[in-house]
Amino acid sequence: MGIFDKGTAKTKRSFFERLSRVVVGKSKVDDDLLDAIEEALIASDMGVDTTLKIVDALQDRVERDRYVSLEELTGMLREEIASLLNIREGETSEDEVMPFDFSKKPYVILVVGVNGVGKTTTIGKLASRLAAQGKKVVLGAADTFRAAAVDQLTIWAERSGADIVKQGMGADPASVAYDTVRSAVARGADAVIIDTAGRLHNRVDLMNELTKIRNVMRKVIPDAPHEVLLVLDGSTGQNAFQQAKEFSRATDVTALAVTKLDGSAKGGVVIGIVDQFRIPIKFIGIGEGVDDLKVFNKREFVNSLFSENDFRK
């Protein structure tokens, strides 16, 4: 079983079960089948714009080739999705290679996202993976509005062996971020991961808070943060699209982590978000375990959706 099969199983089953109801008894591709593909893609929460892009491309190819078997259509669908994810021929990626440039030391990662998406847990798992690879990690508890967030991050710091910088409840998040970065420099840390509040009243509040955090960190490290990682809950489908839109407007999001894919049939949201926002997904969460935060491998993700006799039930 591939590493992403667990995360895409429900999406795949839902998608191909929908298609199989239309495919039975057909000998060629027709408008009904293309409509069924459109319906299945939308049901997987790929988004209307991305779905129409894929279906239009399939229709053009079917018309050009005159006759296409169902197996050939599967291949076309796979190619179109791979194209949207910008997968190049022969491209590979090792799962264990962390997608960060550690020539910048400390490498500063600012983590953003609304409450409940698994933001703090993602930080903890990421810290554990980095620590397991011999990296010295410092965590910053800049979500000072929730005691639970600070407590949870403290537990993850203890588990992973990371250092943590925190202040009291209601403290200025920018002050925590500043202390964290300064401490990381003093300790010779390889990586800094800063948690931020997921509950801000509107986009202006969000923008002001994140801008302030960025500005104070740059007093210590001029090009910080090196990564702004937005955490999204893949099981929320279209809500994840809306969150990506809001955070992209409020700050310069450079990468995504999509969590909770294993419990949802909405894995298409991964493809739709990459297509619509052109922000790379660097991690996906496919379970509760510390090892279930995976470096996102585009090719393996697509392979997990199109394996084992897709149209044959």
Q: Mind listing the pLDDT tens digit for each residue in 191-250? A: 999 999 887 657 788 888 999 999 999 999 999 999 999 999 888 877 888 888 888 888
Among 53, 22, 50, which residue's Cα sits nearest to residue 35? 22
**Do residues 26 and 129 share a domain?**
no
- The string of pLDDT tens digits covering residues 71-83 is 777 788 888 888 8
Q: Is residue 127 predicted with pLDDT exceeding 60?
A: yes
Q: Is residue 2 predicted with pLDDT exceeding 90?
A: no
C-alpha span between 148 and 160 (Å, rounded)? 18
Is residue 242 within 8 A of residue 207, CB to CB? The reply is no
Domain termination site, one of 91, 115, 144: 91
What is residue 7's predicted lDDT score, i.e. its pLDDT?
Answer: 46
- The string of pLDDT tens digits covering residues 256-267 is 998 887 655 566
What is residue 219's predicted lDDT score, i.e. its pLDDT?
Answer: 97
Q: Is residue 123 predicted with pLDDT exceeding 90?
A: yes
Here the CATH number for the domain that contains residue 209 is 3.40.50.300
Q: Is residue 10 predicted with pLDDT exceeding 80?
A: no
**Do residues 242 and 125 share a domain?**
yes
**Do residues 127 and 213 share a domain?**
yes
Q: Which of 29-43, 164-178, 204-218, 227-241 has the lowest mean pLDDT?
A: 29-43
User: Which element (helix H / strand E) includes 112?
Assistant: strand 107-112
Question: Does residue 178 belong to any structural domain of this protein?
Answer: yes
Strands 227-233, 255-259: pairing is: parallel
Q: How confident is the model at residue 47 (pLDDT cuts 50, 70, 90)?
A: confident
- From residue 23, alpha-carbon distances to 39, 54, 61, 81, 313 in Å are 14, 19, 19, 20, 10
C-alpha span between 140 and 127 (Å, rounded)? 11
What is residue 141's predicted lDDT score, i.e. its pLDDT?
Answer: 96
C-alpha span between 123 and 102 (Å, rounded)? 17
- Written as one string, the DSSP assignment of 103-124 is TSSSEEEEEE--TTSSHHHHHH
Q: Is residue 95 predicted with pLDDT exceeding 80?
A: no
| Residue 292 structural domain | 107-298
**Do residues 200 and 266 share a domain?**
yes
Instruction: Count CB atoms within 10 A of the CB of residue 56.
Output: 13
High-pLDDT (> 90) share of the chain, %: 37
Q: Is residue 45 predicted with pLDDT exceeding 50?
A: yes
Classify the phi-psi angles of 118: left when phi > 0, otherwise alpha if psi is within -120 to 50, otherwise beta.
left
72 phi, psi to nearest 5 deg: -65, -35
Q: Is residue 70 predicted with pLDDT exceeding 80?
A: no
Question: Does residue 281 belong to any structural domain of this protein?
Answer: yes
**Do residues 185 and 266 share a domain?**
yes
C-alpha span between 125 and 294 (Å, rounded)? 10
How many domains are contained in the chain?
2
Strand partners, 107: 191
pLDDT, mean of residues 270-293: 84
Q: Output the pTM of the full model.
A: 0.86
What is residue 161's predicted lDDT score, i.e. its pLDDT?
Answer: 94
Q: What rounded mean pLDDT belongs to the chain?
A: 83
Q: Is residue 60 predicted with pLDDT exceeding 70?
A: yes
Here the CATH number for the domain that contains residue 60 is 1.20.120.140
| Distance, first Cα to last Cα, the chain | 19
Q: Is residue 17 predicted with pLDDT exceeding 80?
A: no
What is residue 308's predicted lDDT score, i.e. its pLDDT?
Answer: 54
Residues 6+ apart with CB under 8 A from 76: 58, 61, 62, 68
**Do residues 77 and 149 share a domain?**
no
Q: Is residue 310 predicted with pLDDT exceeding 60?
A: no
pLDDT, mean of residues 297-307: 76
What is residue 200's predicted lDDT score, i.e. its pLDDT?
Answer: 64
Q: Is residue 25 predicted with pLDDT exceeding 80?
A: no
Question: Does residue 309 belong to any structural domain of this protein?
Answer: no
C-alpha span between 190 and 103 (Å, rounded)? 9
Question: Does residue 312 belong to any structural domain of this protein?
Answer: no
Instruction: Count CB atoms within 10 A of the CB of residue 148.
Output: 10
C-alpha span between 278 and 268 (Å, rounded)? 15
C-alpha span between 57 and 73 (Å, rounded)? 11
C-alpha span between 290 and 294 (Å, rounded)? 10
Domain termination site, one of 91, 116, 132: 91
**Do residues 113 and 230 share a domain?**
yes
Largest Cα span, the chain: 69
